[in-house]
Structure 1
Amino acid sequence: MIARLLKHWMPRTFYGRSILILLVPVTVIMAVVTVVFIQRLYEGVTEQMTVAVAYEIKLILGRIDVDSPDADSAFDGALEVADPLGIRISSGAAENVTRRDWYDLSGKTVIETLDREIEQLLGVDLVGLHGFARLSVNTELGPVELIVSRRRLNARNPHQFLVLIGFTALLMSAIALLYMRNQIRPIRRLAFAAEAFGKGRVVPYEPRGAAELRLAGKAFLDMRSRIERQIEQRTLMLSGVSHDLRTPLTRMKLGLSLMDDSSETEAMRRDVQDMEGMLEAFLSFAEGDALEEPEQIDPLDFVRKLTNRIARSEPVILGTLEGDGRAMLRPAALQRALENLIVNA
């Protein structure tokens, strides 16, 4: 069942299958590299960077003086630690929301890691401030808000590696496809030459491409040469036989001309004439088949002219002919075949 489905969806051409053989491994490698890269960068590295920031936040929260008589002085120690670390801290009302963009893959890891490392965490907002993460943390003095740069929570420009490797894979695949196309072109030329020879036409062909393709092309040329020699020898032999048969036919005609006229001799004369006509037709066919080259003609126009010429001596009814275009044909051989078909019908 699976084999039938695969066979149904497989490309029919050699070039299509070559593309499939080339692109499937590249696509699989790209998918594996992408998955491993995302797991390593978005999960591993992002988690490590977020844990380091979480330790800094806990250090800052630990410097808050809960015994201070006023709130401003209570945060003095925390500010001394937060400012060098690039973390902004402020007291008062904070939005206890947790949100991120749907395409923010690293944001999910950041939120999960901060929620795990900071027990007093109320919310993480990764959308409100572009390029920053807003954290709401509960303390003994009430909720506080901390703002941290996203650059400290996850790697910068993680897509560059994927874009670079993707562009490189596409570029190399395109170059490989062009090279593969050049390798397939000699196969198409060989197929065209073989098809043309099968239809009785000889087209110029020169073996090119890889060593195996050159070997196949040379074998085709050798085969074509042997077949052409065989056809030529057969035609010459049959032509020779036909010429040799003319001598006894001539003797028979001479002998019949010396005999008295009767119904038997008249029948023999007709038989000799029929045999002579068959020999002439065969010689014409052999010479035309050996010497005549195919040429581009309009088949419908050719048939109309032939029927008009035959209609001068014999009644011919031509049916409806439709179509247009030209075809590679041997005019003399086609004319001889149609004449025999029409006259003997």
Structure 2
Amino acid sequence: MSRREPPFVPGVLSRRQSLRTGESIAAEQEPSGAIPWFGGGHTDPWDHIESAMALTATGLLDEAKAAYRWSAATQRPDGSWPRQFRLGVVEDAGTESNFCAYIATGVWHHLLCTGDTDFAREMWPTVRAAIDFVLELQGEHGQIYWARDDNGIFDEALLTGCSSMHHSIGCASALAGALGIEGPDWESARARLGSAIRQRPEVFAVKDRYSMDWYYPILGGAITGDAGRARIAARWRDFVVGNIGIRCVSDRPWVTGAETCELVMALDCLDERARALDLFAAMQHLREADGSYWTGLVFADGKRWPEERTTWTGAAVVLAADALSRATPGSGIFRDAVFRDAVAGVASTGAGYVIA
């Protein structure tokens, strides 16, 4: 077994601190494998996967596998998941397409980090069913509608969610390729989705107050290079707040850790390393001694809000640190835009970790 360092950023986040954040996430994991937002809080399928990815990146592989197996066990026959669970009970039976697609990103990330093809094959039926379900919600212009419940499909597409699904569909195709599986033609659907993101803004709901709609098309790989840099430059002043992070919403005095770290990863995709490092350092005021992170800060009055330390905020920190440090073989999960080329980088042995 090869030995690898957990994510770290010199002068900002040490290897031990990164592991401590992973441990703070694992401490909230329920016996079933579910990872709620915080102890006693609800679990949603997307944030659960984000947290599982951080467990993998920090070397907590048994806990990560338990998380993915929870996803497999709770998937419905049609490939979807309920929107929200609490302590094993479904609180909201509706489903969101982006929540369902993200399992592909998580399983691909786990394979990249560990080289565990047996586990990837175990999870493949779950991934395939999820992506097949998601693509049933694709509209005529390539957009994917955001939700479905007992009353039918919600006739609205969200740019952030579609950008994330653009990435997840690519991860699913890469996973199939790495496993030597002749999968369905997901790439044509992904290409249509990417075209919609780049060329058909009118098919998406207007949510441009939210920073995620600003950077997610880059993080999801639909907008790259000079076009991505121009997109970031156009609204930098709307969202970036001094040395404390970025706003979640452009007209609210509230910076959030997860959005800041996602922008860090989007900047890494654009090779904007200096700005990415500055932002990563800027959000560390949200860290607690146990390695957990507060969700955000209302900078108008200096109060942390909501008064929650969320697992998915800590997870975003770990993944951003990995992107910046290139510590694990999965560090390029967002940066590597050509997924099939990334297949060659899958390690043939598992990954271990050195704590310094």
Q: Which has the larger radius of gyration?
A: 1
**Higher helix proportion, which one?**
1
Higher relative contact order (CA 8 A, sep 6+): 2
